[in-house]
Structure 1
Amino acid sequence: MIVARSLLRMAAADTLKRLELRAKQADETIGYLKQQVEALKKHAVSSLADEEVRLEAENEQLKKDIENMKNKLIYLETQNGFKQVALPSAAVASAVSSGPSAPPAQAAPAKEAAKANDKQPNEKAKKKEGKPQKQKPKAADEPVDVSALDLRVGYIRSVKKHPDADTLYIEEIDCGEEKPRNVVSGLVKHYEISQMSERLVIVCCNLKPAKMRGVLSQAMVMCASSPEKVELLDPPEGSVIGDRVSFEGYAFGDYPPQMNPKKKIWERIQPDLQMSDAGVATYKGTPFKVEGKGVCTAPSMKNSGIK
């Protein structure tokens, strides 16, 4: 009996050890499986984030491709005589529905002014003789504002490298005139030729033509500019070749056919051309606007200059 009990105890102890060993192995297996599950979760989250980034990038590229194709279609339709008609904006529709505004008060008739000037000519002549002649202000002192700039929507037909300058492109830009303009721009470091070709841009058309490394440049492509980056200004959606850029509160179409370089008109206006914190091109806070279509932008440029 004693031997049997001893054997039973030994068997029970051995069984208990095996059970404890299996329990330990089971705990280790469970721990390993938990680690694998956590690793799979992290991998899944990382894969989803990468996929989201990839899809966003593809979406942005598709938007750009669609816009470029639309601009090309508008250009081809314009070339073939199809007139582009934009839908009126909310502001325009409101102005139309409210009816015409009251006509401005007319000035005094010219005849009355002439009669007033005819009175006492001798006395006026005497007064003029006694007064010292006023000197005309110097050209640099004459006030200028953004209404002096002839800004239009242009379409870049073609782009090529300048033969004698590594940093310059030569663009052929249609500004809605009889012939396209030849424009030289220092954009080689900022854009590939494929990114410049067949797209709408904003062009300043009344600068004096100037030769740049032997090639005549007849206009200037407008860009948002900072020390780190340069970005072309984009016209609003629906713009067509030849659309004019205007500024609310400033005379429209009052610009000279060609600005006199001696008067430094561009140099005096340019410091007030700035990008807003929303990426909108402005002059003293007033947006570049294509009437009925929207404002000009450079989405990635905030609070930078324009030139």
Structure 2
Amino acid sequence: MRFEKEENRCPLRRSKDERVLQASVREEKKLLVENSKLKKDIDDLKKLLHDTQKRKAVKLHQERVLTATIASKTALLGETTPLSQTAQSTRSETSSAHTRHDGRRRRERRGLDAAHLNSSESACALMREQKPDVSRLDLRVGRILDVRKHPDSVSLYVQEVELGEPAPRTVVSGLTNHMPPEQLVGRLVVLLCNVRPVKVRGVQSQARLLCAVNQEIMEPLTPPTAAQPGDRITFQNYPGEPEKELNPKQRIWERLQPDLCTDAKGVATYKGVAFEVRGKGLCRAPSISNGGIK
């Protein structure tokens, strides 16, 4: 009698075991799906963390460059944000983002793409600031109309120079020990025109007169004879446009000056590329070869 009761209970026990097994399989599948989702979320978080750190690195580098230029130093200075704080902040932001609906997530991704584009543009601008070239200088042909001695300095001339503008510019130069005034009046010269006007011993100078120099003499660079006041001086392989005004804190002129010189034939050059008035000829120093330019 007892044996018959146990036989009757066996199907019930088997049915219960099957249900437990099926429930276990379903739970396992559910865990696999959840694990896959969690893995994808972790990969997304890692990507967002990497992108955020990259953007912060670019911003930090810009701050260092700005600090260095203000201090007139070559070393980059700045404070770095601890990685752990950055990661914690990023995880908090991304965790919050994953709780929003899919439409909001897509908008955030579009915003991230725009941020990447802005970062690329900022990086390009930063690279241009780090490695300036001669195209940033506004070099033009001028004609000296008048020369007089500086009222407060025996070593300086005050010149009025025509540049094809409505009015001539006043330019202060240190040529009194190298050339008499009569040799300067009417002469074509090369001027750096996008420097910030500055007072020199009480007289405001509105441009910089470029001269060739060696250990003994200094003389103005001479444009080609066919040039006219206002003609721009250009350089092959450096097609960029000059800045409206050079920022003195960036010291662009000072950083470019070591690469400016006259070659063995007296032609004014930047890294071996000649000063050229397009279609009219090259700029030269009348008597100084292999000299500097200041």
* TM-score, reference length from structure 2: 0.60
Q: Is the deviation greater in 123-132 or in 151-160?
A: 123-132
Work out the CA distance in 1 between the residues paired with 2:143 and 2:266: 22
Work out the CA distance in 1 between the residues paired with 2:249 and 2:174: 24
- Aligned residue in 1 for 2:61: 136
Work out the CA distance in 2 between the residues paired with 1:293 and 1:124: 61
Superposed CA offset, 1:93-115 (max 9, x none): xxxxxxxxxxxxxxxxxxxxxxx
Q: Do the aligned residues in 2 keep the contact of 1:278 with 1:299 (CA within 8 Å)?
A: no
Shift of 1:199: 1.3
Work out the CA distance in 2 between the residues paired with 1:198 and 1:148: 28
- Aligned residue in 2 for 1:238: 226
- CA gap of 1:131–1:160, structure 2 versus 1, over 3 A, is same
- Aligned residue in 1 for 2:281: 294
- Aligned residue in 1 for 2:187: 199
- Aligned residue in 1 for 2:247: 260
Shift of 1:128: 5.7
- 1:175-190 matches, within 5 Å, as 175-190=163-178
Q: Do the aligned residues in 2 keep the contact of 1:182 with 1:219 (CA within 8 Å)?
A: yes
- CA gap of 1:168–1:128, structure 2 versus 1, over 3 A, is same
* Match status 1:281 vs 2:202: no
- Aligned residue in 2 for 1:216: 204
Work out the CA distance in 1 between the residues paired with 2:221 and 2:273: 15
Shift of 1:136: 3.3
Structure 1 alignment gaps of length 5 or more: 1-122
- 1:164-175 matches, within 5 Å, as 164-175=152-163
Q: Do the aligned residues in 2 keep the contact of 1:224 with 1:305 (CA within 8 Å)?
A: yes
Shift of 1:297: 0.5
Shift of 1:125: 11
Superposed CA offset, 1:181-202 (max 9, x none): 1100010001111011111111
Work out the CA distance in 2 between the residues paired with 1:131 and 1:231: 54
For residue 268 of structure 2, what is the amino acid of its counterpart? A
* TM-score, reference length from structure 1: 0.57
Work out the CA distance in 1 between the residues paired with 2:286 and 2:172: 24
For residue 194 of structure 1, what is the amino acid of its counterpart? E
Question: What is the root-mean-square deviation of aligned Cα atoms in Å?
Answer: 1.8
Residue aligned with 2:175, SS: coil
Work out the CA distance in 2 between the residues paired with 1:192 and 1:260: 33
Shift of 1:275: 0.4
Work out the CA distance in 2 between the residues paired with 1:294 and 1:245: 10
- 1:54-93 matches, within 5 Å, as none
Shift of 1:129: 7.8
Residue aligned with 2:222, SS: coil
Superposed CA offset, 1:155-185 (max 9, x none): 1111101011001000011111121111000
- Aligned residue in 1 for 2:143: 155
Work out the CA distance in 2 between the residues paired with 1:143 and 1:286: 17
Work out the CA distance in 1 between the residues paired with 2:248 and 2:49: 35
Residue aligned with 2:231, SS: coil
Q: Do the aligned residues in 2 keep the contact of 1:274 with 1:306 (CA within 8 Å)?
A: yes
Shift of 1:226: 1.2
Q: Do the aligned residues in 2 keep the contact of 1:280 with 1:299 (CA within 8 Å)?
A: no
For residue 263 of structure 2, what is the amino acid of its counterpart? S
Residue aligned with 1:203, SS: strand
